[in-house]
Amino acid sequence: MEFNYETQAASAQRMYTARADKYKDSFHQDYTKRFMAVADVRPGENVLILACGTGLEVFAAADRMGVEGEIVGVDAFDAILYSSAFVLFDNPGGVVRSWRRYLKPEGRLVVDVTHEDNLKVGLLLERAARRLGARFPSNRSWITDRNSITGVLEGAGYVVERVQLMDKLSGQGDTTYGMDQVDEQFDCITGTPLTVNLATEEFKRKTRDLFREEWEKAAVDGKVVNVDAVYVYVARRA
């Protein structure tokens, strides 16, 4: 199977299946605590948690909500939480617009989006693949700054109340790469869950030079910086 023949749902299943065994040992445990602090789930609220995966946010929300709250079903919710998966959507505006009907009037949506320079190597590969006209498992090229999703949310009927930068996401901090690391990073990213089983030799051959061109365009003084951060947004249903 190649990128152009893989559905968005199949992409998500493939990538997260490859990560599942080690997911609990990743940075997500600590990040969930920070995300939930921004979400501010309260006792008695009804909360819809989408893309809940291993349930990190579910368990944290249950602890905060107590016996009076609910996390199941689709009804009128006080809050919708969505963490670490927004870049999988081909049509982010349409998605958040569809969620709006599940919120009570003035209910809140809490969602995170990668920093425009987070996972930079993967972003450069995405740009290279799109130049070939190939579909790619993630959709991040539209994120150019912290206001990119603000426009998406406002266009879907929300009012953004808060934007929180979560730095040192993985605990490693920002990383800088030089031009001498282009091929090394290309080989690395085409062997990750992002492209596992799909990065054929033909795909690598076609995209390697384009990847280098995207690297050169993104570099400042010959360096490409991976920013270890995401943005968390709190928006109200207007």
Q: How far is CA 174 from CA 26, 77, 139, 163, in A?
A: 17, 37, 22, 20
Is the same domain home to 108 and 48? Answer: no
Could you tell me which residue, 38 or 13, shows the higher pLDDT?
A: 38
Note whether residue 2 is domain-resident: no
pLDDT tens digits along 195-229: 766 678 888 999 999 999 999 999 999 999 999 99
**Does residue 4 have a pLDDT over 90?**
no
pLDDT at 70: 59
- State yes or no: pLDDT of 59 exceeds 50: yes
Q: What is the pTM of this model?
A: 0.82
Domain range enclosing 196: 78-237
Q: Judge whether 38 lies within some domain.
A: yes
Concatenate the DSSP letters of all residues of 56-84 into one string.
HHHHHHHHHHGGG-B--SSS-EEEEEE-S
Do 136 and 201 fall within a single domain? Answer: yes
Q: Same domain, yes or no, for 60 and 141?
A: no
Question: Do both 90 and 67 map to the same domain?
Answer: no
Provide the domain count of the chain: 2
Average of per-residue pLDDT across 150-160: 97
Contacts of 135-138 spanning 24+ positions with Cβ under 8 A: 135/3, 135/4, 135/6, 136/3, 137/3, 137/6, 137/11, 137/12, 137/14, 137/15, 137/88, 137/194, 137/195, 137/198, 138/87, 138/88, 138/194
For residue 78, pLDDT over 50 is answered with yes
On the question of pLDDT at 73 being above 60, the answer is no
Q: How many CB atoms lie within 10 A of CB 117?
A: 16
